[in-house]
Amino acid sequence: MENVLITICARGGSKGIPGKNIKKLNGRPVIDYSIKHAVEFSKFYSNVDIALSTDSPEIANVAKSCGLKSFYKRPSYLANDTVGKIEVLDHILKHEERNKNKSYEFLIDLDVSSPLRTTEDLKKAFDVFINNQEALNIFSVSKPHKNPYFNVVEIKKDGFCKLVKPSESKSRQTAPLVYDMNASFYIYRKAFFDQKLTSAITPKSLIFLMDHICFDIDEPIDFEMMEFLLSQNKLDFEI
């Protein structure tokens, strides 16, 4: 099989939840969950490397204690709130290819702040992806809490509201199917970066629907909810 690079990106200076990427979640640093998923996935495939992208020495040290040692440091111009994730991935992909003198056909990015995934999720999504030669990428999604064709509105210029997606649907069940991007993982072909695309949503993108709960940690309440689910064994799957 072609070479695979798994990336774990963890910027320092989180504002919503200070130290989010290394904050203890049910007794483990948040980043440890993604590191363990990367290691477990690599056991099922040959030619897999794992790389850390961070600008923080503290995060790098915690990652090292969790088993992921890195000599790469993310440049400061790629470590602010205005930089997109794809720019970060493209930079570390090129660095790892130069550093290891090899080319990667696939890049799998595991989002540190959305760890409610399983190794089986990754394996299934990867198999779907590699069997579709036209696809440029695939990413994880969940069933939505709201539907823009039925109960999501936006404000018009005149101050009144309208449905985000005009629809004749009279119930949530009859509205077109939509999905929440849960940010847990994204899998790309090298061709995605060769084409210098700037969005993970392309005309050749696939989705992988998780059959279990998955959400990312954006606010303190998200962290508290995830802590409760893990500490009280409320999940019906193991991460």
Domains identified in the chain and CATH numbers: 4-143+179-231 (3.90.550.10), 144-177 (no CATH)
Q: Which pTM was predicted?
A: 0.94
pLDDT number for residue 15: 76
Bridge partners of 163? 153
pLDDT at 190 > cutoff 80: yes
pLDDT in tens, 159-182: 999 999 999 888 888 999 999 999
pLDDT in tens, 197-216: 999 999 999 999 999 999 99
pLDDT at 13 > cutoff 90: no
pLDDT at 62 > cutoff 80: yes
pLDDT band at residue 82 under the 50/70/90 scheme: confident
pLDDT in tens, 65-78: 999 999 899 999 99
Average pLDDT, the chain: 96
pLDDT in tens, 96-135: 999 999 999 999 999 999 999 999 999 999 999 999 999 9
pLDDT number for residue 81: 83
